[in-house]
Amino acid sequence: MKIEAMSVVPYKNQKEGKKQQVANMFNNISKNYDLLNHVLSMGIDIIWRKKAIKMLKDDQPKLILDIATGTGDFAIEALALKPDKIIGVDISEGMLNVGRKKMKQKKLDHLIDLQMGDSEKLLFEENKFDAVIVSFGVRNFENLEKGLADMYRVLKPGGKTVILEFSTPKNSR
C-alpha cells in the first residue's frame, strides 16, 4: 500500500508549520489535557487504550516506544505488558512536563522515560524497539509518510506497531 505524502496546516493564516502549531497548541492546554481528553471522549479513550495494549500481550515487548506520548497515559497503560522500559517522545515540552510530574507522583519514572522528540526524526538507532505505540497522535504528524517510515525504522524485525486513532484511514488503492 502506498501512503500519499500530505501536509495539513491547522491554521493556514499563520507562518508556522503544522508541527510548531501542534506543539504550541498542546503546550497551551497541557495542564488540562488529561481532564479534557477523558471528559470529551466520555471516558472511552481509557477503554480504547486498554484494548490497544492487549493487542501486544502475546508479543511481550521489553522495550516500547510511545510516540506522541503527551502526558504518558498510553505509556502507563503499556506497563500492563511488564516491559523493562518505555520511552515516550513528544514535541510538546508542556505535555512532557505534566507527564514527568505524573510519572514521579506514581513512582513510574524509573520505567517510563519521557523525552522531547519528533516522530519524523526519531533519535534512536534502527531496530531498537520491540513495539512502537501511538495514541491519538498520528493525525498530528506534519508528514504522515515520514513519521510512519521512521517508526518502522526503529522497530525491530518482527516487532509490532499499534496505532490508536479516531480517524479512519483512506485506502490508497
**Would you place residue 168 in the very low, low, confident or very high pLDDT band (cuts 50, 70, 90)?**
low
State the average pLDDT over residues 129-152: 91
Range of the domain at 125: 18-164
Q: pLDDT at position 51, please?
A: 95
Domains: count for the chain:
1
Compute the distance between CA of residue 157 and CA of residue 113 in angstroms, rounded to an integer.
23
Domain CATH for 112: 3.40.50.150
Which residues make beta-bridge pairs with 131?
64, 160
State the average pLDDT over residues 142-164: 95
| Residue 5: inside a domain | no
- How would DSSP label each residue in 9-61? -S-TTSSS-HHHHHHHHHHHHGGGHHHHHHHHTTTHHHHHHHHHHHTTGGG--
* The three three-digit cell numbers of residue 166, written as one number: 479516531
